[in-house]
Structure 1
Amino acid sequence: MAVTQIRPVDKGPALRERLAPGVPGSRVLGWLLPLVVTVFAGFLRFNRLGVPHQIVFDETYYAKDAWSLWQFGYEHSVVGKPEDLADKLFLEGKPEQMITDGGSFIAHPPFGKWMIGVGEAIFGVDPFGWRFMAALIGTLSVLVLCRVARRMTGSTLLGCAAGFLLALDGLHLVTSRAALLDIFLMFWVLAGFACLVADRDHARRRLADRVDRDYDAAFSAGPFLWHPWRYAAGICFGLAAGVKWSAAPFIAAFILLAFIWDMTARRAARVRSPYAGAVTRDGVATVLGLMVLPVVTYCATWLGWLLTKGGWGRGEPAASVWLRPFEGLPDLVRYHREILDFHNGLSSKHPYQSWPWDWPILRKPVAFFYSEASPGCGADKCSREILGIGTPAIWWIGIAALGVMIVLWLTHRDWRAGAILLGYAAGWLSWFPSAFGHRTMFLFYALPGLPFLILSIVMTLGLIIGPADGPRSRRVTGSVITGAYLLLVLANFWFLYPVLTAQNIPYDSWHLRIWLDSWVLGSDGFGPT
């Protein structure tokens, strides 16, 4: 007598809706409103992008390296000190006169500089050209955050609020208007996370469909390889590592996150052996997508160095171009050991040095540019500055919002709170060991964690507003509180805007915007006690 298998799960749409509920509302508005926020962010980033018409802060390295990569395939050494003759020739549009023979030792992978070089290739070697890609990527990151926040909260308006906050953050604005690497690192980490969130929904829908068709299919033998969004995430994480190695903690954290999501999806579907299924069925896609693919993508960012002759540490390339990527791997490994030794020994004091525990409170920002030789402001003494600092109304409120996420995760095991906390921790706590080793670091190292800080704020605002079917009075009150907070951020940003964008203002007006003594050069010492 045959025994009928009774599936201990809900059927059809009920299971699918429970595993991966869709975002309510209009799909058209789900794209249109985020695009409006993105256009607003783009205006702030591209307006007066070429001002000041000079090299600011570490553009002296990355803008030149970017041009060199597009010319030679590797970073070429340049004449004189970075701040001397090479800067002058570069600003005069004569970059070919600043180079010397041989490659230069560079402490970061090349992909971020390849991206900077796109702007130089299109618009020429001038401030607008080498800042163009940073502004574009900074603008696009606002769109990505709008969409991922919309998917996580189930609200288009909250998604737009997240993008609006990112658009109004001072540190994000400043790094979007300078040829530095951190905005590219932040973008690819955020893009990878967005792909993982999409993969979570995609994989859960497929799991629900499989269980609905055949309960045994959920834990039958063989890997579940169809995770296109997971593979896209792996490419993004490989590109993030190709910008800076500080992408590594995010990759490790998100590998763990992917496994947890796979396991909880199977447990929610009530299939047998959810842990084993997550390892054997989805684990292959995790290994391929989040381990193998990032490594392959990362190595591909070094192709310029591998395929050409003359780069730092590059031996004589093989005669066959097809063999060079493989023949050059030992040279690349040796180069990476040198880079690792450099970073481990990087402990030089710097006037803008700060420590990870300083970053959330914005204790020590970075002055990218400052000048008092700027007549025409209507006062006896004028000031122009680009101050690399976050908007306090975002960063300081964000501390409390992270606390809310901790409580939400501990009490409800909310997957969104857990993902936000893990992402923020990967970009913040991972720096603490280096800090106690007195490694030189700066506030803008915290930039990749900013989207997760903003997601915590938006999640908190969603809790204040309440569910769509909640009491009307609560939703009205919560909406007023949310609107008031967004207006506060806008006012705070607009007040700081002149010192974020090198506007020529009276010295007294500049000083009014310097809220803490530590925001001024040389106001404190260095290093943890």
Structure 2
Amino acid sequence: MSVDAPKIAIDDIIDGPGDDGHDGFEADDSRDDVDEPRGTRLDAWWGRMLSTPLRLRLWYWGGPIAVTLLAAVLRLWNLGNPHSLVFDETFYVKDAYTLLRNGVESTWPDDADARFNAGDTDIYNSDGSYVVHPPLGKWIIALGLAVFGAGDSFGWRISTAIVGILAVLLITVIARRLFRGSTLIGVIAGFLLAIDGHAIVMSRVAILDNSIMFFALLGFGAILLDRDWNERRLTLWLDRRRASDPDAGSWGPALWWRPWLLAAGLAFGLASSVKWSGLYFLAGFGLYVIVVDMLARRRAGITFWATGALLKQGPISFLLMVPIAVVTYFAAWTGWFATATGYYRHWADEAGNAWTGALAWVPHSLQSFWHYEAAAYQWNISLATPHPYQANPFTWLFMIRPTSMYYLGTTSENGCPVDSCSDAITSLGNPIIWWAATAAAFYLVYRLARYREWRVGLILMGLAAGYLPWLLYANRTVFQFYTIAFEPYLMLALTAVIALILGQPDDVTWRRQRGIGVVAVFLTVAVLVSVFFWPLWTGERIPFWYWQLHIWLPSWR
């Protein structure tokens, strides 16, 4: 068949509009076998399917929408089950409700959970509660309570579910942009996140970490867009300067207008306003931006490319990202500043507590806030209370100890159709997807070292920012479900390897057929495994023996 026959398929799957260059991130095809047939019938059919601008537009929007709708079904189906506060919902749902009512998190009586589950929700106290995470994630949960009421378990979780659904759409469009405009590759990335059990569970339980994942992914997308923006502005600046003076631009420009850096700072500030671990993304990508600026200036032929990026552009990038993140963080605490009942709100007003000397001028509210933050930080780094489901971060990538969010054993005497049943919610990823993604991440480390591909570097930066800092806290009480913060980058790593396996529509036929076959088999098996594990992600009642079939590792119990 003609190499030109599947032209539209090539554009859609690999190159995409506006990017016809070769960056090495493709399957190796030496072209020594130029006389062999190329492409497959599937490629030719796909090319005909997308042979008009209207069909291309339908696929461009229809693919991401379809995978987002799939994610919505999996996250919203029977979302109110169980009608019981599960795992850390006992903290965050009740905190969210008192944020709505009092403006700050407040204390509850000792028997609050049972009464709250029964619909007796207005039993909170007026005293401020000692909480160790910023308020934004709880305000997001509070939106669902405001709409559906605190007595509706669907309302407890709907905001978190919507965040998870939007994350699937977001990773789809990010992957499309990242992989040279390929809607197919973008849809595969979204599909993997949509059907993975860990992402499903974390979208169906009203805790904070899903929101960190979403805002950090927004920041990742902004960094991706800034990369192209910066290179275009850099090239334009150099062309203008060198047109009048060939020796101009030895240090390069100081680019103040980088709107995507502002957006990234805002997004990472929002992530940090959910949990402090969002700061790792701000710090990691702040350093990443400086390195990318250095490399862009070197490619542009700027003489002092390293010092120009570090000393001239670096401080500007800092001012574009960090202050907006700080302001965002303080804005999340508005309720604490605006009320009088927040925990430690009047600490500095108590005798002997206020600062003296050079810092005596600082308002007492800020002194009290600093004391609160210092106390919360100390609590966060020193938490060492043993927990049956704690997981050493060195084991996270291998999913050794998933977190049991909810478990209820029943017998035939109380509703089980057989002798014994299990109702379980376990933040267990689809093992096929998760382990393949981990293998893909290790492969990308090798690929980055060998080929220096910027796409690989960006993916690994997201993974490193979300994961590596936790290795410093291996002795702290931490959990596998924290991995949701960097799961999108595992999915992108797996998607990158899938793109390599698929190859290009003009590869030799046998190679292309093999790639399509491998990917089709993998995705089919992944779907079947998700169907098999679905009851353990949604709290469905199943026979105990069937629950045991899902315990592939002893540590999953």
Q: When the two structures are superposed, what TM-score results if normalisation uses the length of structure 1?
A: 0.88
Are 2:346 and 2:364, in contact at CA under 8 Å, matched by a contact in 1?
Answer: no
Distance 1:16 1:478, change over 3 A: closer
Aligned counterparts, 1:452-471, within 5 A: 452-471=489-508
State the partner residue of 1:268.
Answer: 299
1:349 paired residue among 383, 386, 390 = 386
SS at match of 1:372: strand
Q: Report deviation, 1:349.
A: 0.5
Render the CA deviation track for 1:316-368: whole Å, top value 9, x for unaligned: 899xxxxxx96522111100111012123210100101101221121111111
SS at match of 1:245: coil
- Structure 1's unaligned 5+ residue stretches are 1-14, 319-324, 521-529
Residue 379 of structure 1 aligns with an amino acid whose one-letter code is V
State the partner residue of 2:136.
Answer: 111
SS at match of 1:95: coil
SS at match of 2:126: strand
State the partner residue of 1:290.
Answer: 321
Residue 397 of structure 1 aligns with an amino acid whose one-letter code is A
Distance 1:164 1:266, change over 3 A: same
Render the CA deviation track for 1:382-404: whole Å, top value 9, x for unaligned: 11111111111112112221122
State the partner residue of 1:180.
Answer: 207
Distance 1:197 1:429, change over 3 A: same
State the partner residue of 2:288.
Answer: 257
State the partner residue of 1:331.
Answer: 368
Q: Does 1:50 align with 2:77?
A: no
| Cα distance in 2 between the residues matched to 1:92 and 1:149 | 44
Render the CA deviation track for 1:285-320: whole Å, top value 9, x for unaligned: 4212322211111111111101111100002899xx
State the partner residue of 1:407.
Answer: 446
Q: Does 1:191 align with 2:230?
A: no
Q: Report deviation, 1:38.
A: 0.7
State the partner residue of 2:114.
Answer: 88
Q: Report deviation, 1:460.
A: 0.8
State the partner residue of 2:259.
Answer: 228
SS at match of 1:390: coil
Are 2:145 and 2:156, in contact at CA under 8 Å, matched by a contact in 1?
Answer: yes
1:156 paired residue among 170, 178, 183 = 183
Q: Does 1:362 align with 2:399?
A: yes
Q: Does 1:451 align with 2:481?
A: no
| Cα distance in 1 between the residues matched to 2:539 and 2:75 | 13
More deviation, 287-296/103-112: 287-296
Q: Report deviation, 1:261.
A: 1.5
Q: Report deviation, 1:243.
A: 0.7
| Cα distance in 2 between the residues matched to 1:239 and 1:72 | 22
Aligned counterparts, 1:128-167, within 5 A: 128-154=154-180, 155-167=182-194
- What is the root-mean-square deviation in Å for CA atoms of aligned residues? 2.5
SS at match of 2:486: helix
Residue 418 of structure 1 aligns with an amino acid whose one-letter code is G
Render the CA deviation track for 1:146-189: whole Å, top value 9, x for unaligned: 11111111221111111111111111111100110110111111
Q: Report deviation, 1:64.
A: 0.3
Q: Does 1:242 align with 2:273?
A: yes
1:385 paired residue among 414, 418, 424 = 424
| Cα distance in 2 between the residues matched to 1:258 and 1:491 | 40
Are 1:385 and 1:502, in contact at CA under 8 Å, matched by a contact in 2?
Answer: yes
Render the CA deviation track for 1:387-427: whole Å, top value 9, x for unaligned: 11111111211222112201211111111111222221222
1:123 paired residue among 129, 132, 148 = 148
1:398 paired residue among 437, 454, 457 = 437
Are 2:193 and 2:491, in contact at CA under 8 Å, matched by a contact in 1?
Answer: yes
SS at match of 2:422: strand
Q: Does 1:39 align with 2:62?
A: no
Render the CA deviation track for 1:122-141: whole Å, top value 9, x for unaligned: 11112111101110000000
Q: Does 1:476 align with 2:513?
A: yes
SS at match of 2:127: strand
| Cα distance in 2 between the residues matched to 1:267 and 1:99 | 60
| Cα distance in 1 between the residues matched to 2:314 and 2:527 | 44
Aligned counterparts, 1:210-225, within 5 A: 210-215=237-242, 223-225=254-256
Q: Number of paired residues?
A: 491
Q: Does 1:29 align with 2:66?
A: no
2:471 paired residue among 425, 432, 451 = 432
SS at match of 2:107: strand
Distance 1:218 1:28, change over 3 A: farther
Identical amino acids, percent of aligned pairs = 39
Distance 1:32 1:328, change over 3 A: farther
Are 2:234 and 2:253, in contact at CA under 8 Å, matched by a contact in 1?
Answer: no
SS at match of 2:405: strand
Are 1:230 and 1:285, in contact at CA under 8 Å, matched by a contact in 2?
Answer: no
| Cα distance in 2 between the residues matched to 1:418 and 1:381 | 50
SS at match of 2:70: helix
Distance 1:194 1:93, change over 3 A: same
State the partner residue of 1:304.
Answer: 335
Aligned counterparts, 1:200-215, within 5 A: 200-215=227-242
Residue 156 of structure 1 aligns with an amino acid whose one-letter code is T
